[in-house]
């Protein structure tokens, strides 16, 4: 069974307003799930709009992350309130928690992304972390959300850093799926990989303009936020679990194991992971195009103020055994790194990262 997309999608300016008559058909008592204080105003608007439709509306916030502690606390309050739907309004962690909770209670999930930082509003997947933000695992869900509301007016309110992060995460789709899945003899997977290539090209063309330009009447901004929040999800939906992530996400997952005072966004870590993946392809697979890809990506990443080394993520890999910890987690048994078409072990990762961080390899 494969769930390709949300059942209904509302997109563009005022998508939220347009979705209201549909939302009231599927829920009488929703719980609005959120997290950060900077999205409070939007969630209050969502709350009041639903209340004025005579729904019995509740709200709850994640305290930490998409973690089992928050998940079980929110599940109990849903059972107590008798909510019939979760409306997850926020970034990737909120959307992932909402989808996971709704599925485990067999109620509908409506996703309302409040930034373009990920495609979590679309996918049938939740990433689970510890409450300190360390990646544990990803969980495949039975279906994509019932309704996805991608309101551009909401997305416009998000900090530009979230857009940069979304661009890095969406770019990774092509580099990861093309290396892990290009030998799979399945038309849908091949077509998904081709969509991810077009997605990458569009981000290389429009990403910089979207980041700098103003939202209103800026087609680059519209194309870019939809590429990050919608098309990236579609690639995952069509490609299914065979259209896999690879080293960029495996390295992201490993970097989250090092707890740092400053939190970085998912795509910010994936972007660094992507540069490392390309160096790994050059080192282990003799990929002559990797260096060109790195140079091309670096131009855009610098324009977007994205970190390009692990040091810029606030981690010194040469302290506290950090390098060994990252290498260990990257190469653990069920890591995505093993979807690469060549063998990788811990020594390769230690060599790769130490050269990369020492800038022996020029980036």
Q: How far is the CB of 114 from Zn ion (least distance, A)?
A: 17
Other Cβ atoms closer than 10 A to 156? 16
Residue 335 Cβ vs Zn ion, minimum distance, rounded to whole Å: 15
C-alpha to C-alpha distance for 119 and 126, rounded to whole angstroms? 11
Alpha-carbon separation of residue 137 from 115, 118, 221, 249, 267 (angstroms) = 23, 17, 32, 11, 17
Nearer to Zn ion, 169 or 282 (CB): 169
Shortest Å distance, C-beta 66 to Zn ion: 13
Cβ nearer to Zn ion, comparing 169 with 357: 169
Inter-helix orientation angle 266-285/160-181, to 10°: 30
Q: Minimum distance between the CB of residue 77 and Zn ion, rounded to whole angstroms?
A: 29
Which residue lies nearer to Zn ion by CB, 109 or 269?
269
- In angstroms, give the least distance from the CB of 169 to Zn ion: 4
Alpha-carbon distance 263 to 267, whole Å? 12
When the beta carbons of 169 and 281 are compared against Zn ion, the nearer one is 169
From the CB of residue 198, how many other CB atoms can be counted at a distance below 10 Å? 13
Quick one: which H or E segment has residue 54?
none
> Which residues share a beta bridge with 243?
none
Name which of 232 and 315 has its Cβ closer to Zn ion: 232
Helix axes 322-330, 346-358, angle to 10 degrees: 130
Which residues in this chain contact Zn ion in the complex, by CB under 5 A?
A: 169
């Amino acid at each position: 069974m494969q769930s390709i997309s949300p059942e209904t999608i509302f997109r563009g300016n005022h998508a939220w307003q347009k979705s209201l008559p549909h939302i009231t058909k599927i829920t009488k008592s929703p719980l609005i799930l959120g997290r950060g204080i900077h999205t409070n105003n939007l969630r209050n608007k969502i709350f009041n709009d639903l209340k004025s439709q005579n729904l019995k509306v509740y709200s709850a916030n994640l305290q930490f992350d998409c973690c089992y502690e928050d998940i079980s606390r929110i599940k109990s309050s849903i059972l107590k309130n008798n909510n019939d739907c979760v409306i997850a309004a926020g970034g990737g962690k909120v959307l992932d928690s909402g989808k996971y909770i709704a599925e485990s209670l067999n109620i509908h999930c409506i996703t309302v992304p409040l930034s373009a930082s990920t495609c979590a509003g679309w996918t049938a997947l939740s990433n689970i972390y510890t409450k300190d933000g360390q990646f544990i695992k990803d969980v495949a869900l039975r279906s994509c959300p019932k309704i996805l509301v991608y309101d551009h007016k909401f997305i416009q309110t998000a900090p530009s850093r979230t857009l940069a992060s979304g661009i890095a995460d969406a770019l990774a789709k092509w580099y990861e799926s093309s290396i892990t899945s290009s030998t799979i003899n399945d038309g849908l997977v091949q077509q998904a990989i081709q969509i991810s290539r077009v997605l990458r090209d569009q981000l290389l063309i429009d990403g910089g303009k979207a980041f700098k330009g103003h939202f209103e009447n800026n087609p680059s901004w519209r194309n870019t936020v939809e590429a990050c929040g919608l098309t990236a999800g579609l690639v995952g939906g069509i490609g299914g679990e065979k259209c896999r992530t690879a080293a960029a996400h495996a390295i992201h997952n490993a970097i989250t194991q090092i707890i740092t005072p400053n939190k970085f966004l998912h795509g910010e870590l994936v972007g660094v992971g992507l540069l490392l993946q390309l160096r790994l392809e050059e080192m282990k697979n003799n990929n002559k195009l990797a260096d060109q890809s790195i140079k091309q990506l670096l131009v855009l990443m610098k324009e977007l103020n994205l970190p390009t080394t692990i040091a810029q993520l606030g981690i010194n890999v040469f302290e506290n055994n950090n390098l060994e910890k990252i290498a260990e987690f990257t190469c653990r048994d069920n890591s995505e790194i093993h979807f690469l078409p060549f063998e990788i072990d811990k020594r390769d990762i230690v060599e790769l990262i130490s050269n990369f961080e020492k800038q022996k390899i020029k980036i």
